[in-house]
Amino acid sequence: MSIITVQIVAAALIGIGLYGALSQQSFVMLMMGLELILNGVMLAAVGFWAYSGTGIPEGQLLTIVVMAVMAIEMALGFALVVAVYRGKQADMTEALEGFKH
């Protein structure tokens, strides 16, 4: 376990997440991809923090901020899904295009 291996794992998670986010048709699955990307980002942040040699708290804080972003993204994303479904009974990303007036 070193900073390089940790970053490679993080890179793999980000790569898979990117694939998911770009390829999935369903909005909820797309969010899964985003979550996976953020998962990799968090791991990378903690990796940098752990090997920075100083243990500055900003590394941890960054992770918390990423988590907050994740929580907000999920909450708003799902609320959007509910609102869209209410109107159109669809959960596909394409359905969202109807909202781009």
Residues numbered 43-82 forming contacts with other proteins, rule: CB under 8 A: 43, 46-55, 57-58, 60-61, 63-65, 67-68, 70-72, 74-76, 78-82
Structure tokens at 30: 């797309």
Q: How far is the CB of 24 from other proteins (least distance, A)?
A: 6
**CA–CA gap between residue 45 and residue 65 (Å, rounded):** 11
Rg (CA), the chain: 17
Which structure tokens are listed for 46? 């903690």
User: Is residue 36 involved in binding other proteins (CB under 8 A)?
Assistant: yes
Q: According to the binding rule CB under 8 A, does residue 33 interact with other proteins?
A: yes
